[in-house]
């Protein structure tokens, strides 16, 4: 029998939930690296999901704290979608996925983990990235450590670079 080690999951399972909103600009005094923020724009931000479904799982959120898209004005909404588009381009260039799942969960019943602050999920997908672990054990295998993925993506999310591709 082989063991699958994913010790970082225990932080999610047993750990304290952060107070305050993970998407708001201050972030409990943690650095961008600690928060896994790869991009800070004027109206929106991109952070890596600390508990990803797949390598490169990103969260894209407006800085404005609102639970719905209706809470954003036209400029904020346009910027949010442009940041999603730019994030997809960065992931295409750096990770070469075969496709993406892109979406948002509005409300707890829809699966929103942070219901009070609207955010998009971008999950890169590769042919064959699901296997027996997901089917039989409800476990996902994420083959690259979060800090390695962070270091890979960060240079591509420089503000000028993101604006070039969005």
Distance from C-alpha of 11 to C-alpha of 31, rounded to nearest angstrom: 19
Catalytic residue among 57, 117, 119, 121: 119
Structure tokens at 10: 């225990």
* Catalytic status, residue 57: no
Cα–Cα distance, 140 to 44 (Å, whole number): 29
The residues assigned a catalytic role are 119
């Amino acid at each position: 029998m082989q063991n699958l080690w994913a010790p970082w999951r225990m932080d999610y399972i047993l750990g304290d939930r952060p107070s305050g909103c993970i998407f708001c600009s201050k972030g409990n005094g943690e650095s961008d690296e600690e928060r896994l923020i790869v991009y800070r724009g004027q109206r929106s931000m991109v952070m890596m999901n600390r508990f990803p479904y797949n390598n490169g799982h990103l969260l894209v959120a407006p800085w404005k704290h609102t639970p719905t898209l209706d809470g954003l004005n036209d400029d904020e909404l346009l910027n949010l979608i442009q940041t999603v588009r730019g994030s997809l381009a960065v992931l295409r260039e750096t990770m070469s996925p075969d496709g993406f799942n892109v979406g948002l969960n509005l409300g707890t019943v829809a699966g929103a983990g942070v219901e009070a602050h609207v955010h998009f999920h971008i999950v890169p997908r590769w042919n064959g990235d699901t296997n027996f672990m997901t089917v039989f054990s409800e476990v996902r295998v994420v083959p690259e450590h979060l800090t390695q993925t962070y270091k890979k993506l960060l240079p591509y999310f420089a503000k000028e670079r993101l604006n070039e591709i969005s």
